Homo-oligomer: A and B are copies of this chain.
Amino acid sequence: MAELRQRGRPRAPADPEALVASARAGDARALARLVSLVEDRAPELRAVMKAIAPLTGNARVLGLTGSPGVGKSTVTGALVAAYRAAGIRVGVLAVDPTSPFTGGALLGDRVRMQAHATDDGVFIRSMASRGHLGGLSLATPQAVRVLDAAGFGLVLIETVGVGQAELEIASLADTTIVIIAPGMGDSVQAAKAGILEIADIFVVNKSDRPAAQEAVRDLRTMLAMGHWGDGQWKPPIVSTVASAGTGIDDLTAKIEAHWSWLDSTSGLAARRRARAREEVAAIAVAVLRERLGGPPSAARLDDLAGQVAAGQIDPYSAADELVSG
């Protein structure tokens, strides 16, 4: 894929504005460097974000989520192919939970996406979900911002897992697709994970499996229990066999329909404002936390943690000491 193929070229200039200009002109290497600046929380990031702010707001952001094994990456790959065929540049951000020991994201998704490796209109990056500010981390919304400014018409965010990450993807995306596969857990489990509330579109992938009908029926029953007012979006259910390309046309039609619905209501503006609110608040907390994170504070935190573990002080008093100290 683009970011790997271009490794051999000389380095692009480090000047943020020049990098942004190169990325917009289609230089995949400049784009890869911009995303790396985001991931590394590099000092240049502020200048980059300032430069690209007026260039953002054009990309559509599609979130794909579901349990391990449902075929998220295969669905993502099929969507990339479909939108590329329509001439749209597509960015893919694959968010993997960080291993606390290796500190890196695995490359499984990249490997599976190699069909698009020679296409300059596709940019793929595995994002590590660092830190404790949520599974999608601070970096993902900023990477979306970079791809948006670089002229990618569609950004797909693929995230593994249920739970927190799934809730967060809904706050990031314009359209959230929840993928399930037959036999991967019953409807009580699905309700538990809160997917009903976040899904704009349900995909039952691997729908050639015997239990597929049952999975669709369970979803229908759950959706029937919801109350959908006039003008509200009721999530459709799309059956796919993504590995064979089956049902992808239907899926893109439902995505377009959701997009039209967002466009015809105040939905899009509200979602994007909410997304910006989360992003600004997260950065503000990070700024505040950085003020705690210098070397003297880290040592002080470790010392206080020892006292808390020994029962000599309670965690609130310890936090107060840390903040005031």
Which residues from 208 to 241 on chain A have a C-beta closer than 8 Å to any C-beta of chain B? none
Do B284 and A323 touch (CB < 8 A)? Answer: yes
Residues of A134-153 contacting chain B, CB below 8 A? 134-135, 141-142, 145
Stretch at the interface among A28-36, A79-87, A117-125, A157-165: A157-165
Q: Collect the chain B residues with CB atoms within 8 Å of residue A281's CB.
A: 289, 292, 301, 319, 322
Chain B contacts for A318, CB-based, 8 A: 276, 280, 283
- Give A112 Cβ to nearest chain B Cβ, in Å: 10
Interface core residue of A52, A133, A164 (most chain B CB under 10 Å) = A164
Whole-angstrom distance between the Cβ of A281 and the nearest chain B Cβ: 6
**Nearest B residue to A170 by beta-carbon distance?**
B100
Interface centre among A52, A98, A161, A287 (most CB of B within 10 A): A161
Q: Is the CB of A197 within 8 A of B167?
A: no
A166 to chain B, nearest CB (A): 7
A194 at the B interface (CB under 8 A) = yes
A115 contacts the other chain (Cβ, under 8 Å)? Answer: no
Does A267 interact with chain B (Cβ within 8 Å)?
no
Report the stretch among A181-189, A242-250, A258-266 that lies at the interface: A181-189
Interface centre among A135, A191, A274 (most CB of B within 10 A): A135
Give the CA-CA distance A197 to B296 in the complex, in Å: 30
Question: Whole-angstrom distance between the alpha carbons of A102 and B195 in the complex?
Answer: 12
| A314 part of interface (Cβ distance < 8 Å) | yes
A304 CB to nearest B CB, Å: 6
Contact-residue bracket for chain A = 35 or more
A308: nearest chain-B partner, CB-CB? B276
Bitwise, A187-202 to B at CB < 8 A (1) or not (0) is 0111111100110000
Are B165 and A309 touching (Cβ within 8 A)?
no
Once the chains are docked, how many angstroms separate the CA of A289 from the CA of B133?
Answer: 12
Subset of 16 A-B contacts with CB under 8 Å: A53-B313, A55-B311, A67-B185, A69-B184, A97-B163, A133-B133, A135-B163, A161-B161, A273-B309, A276-B304, A276-B315, A279-B315, A280-B305, A281-B301, A284-B322, A288-B323
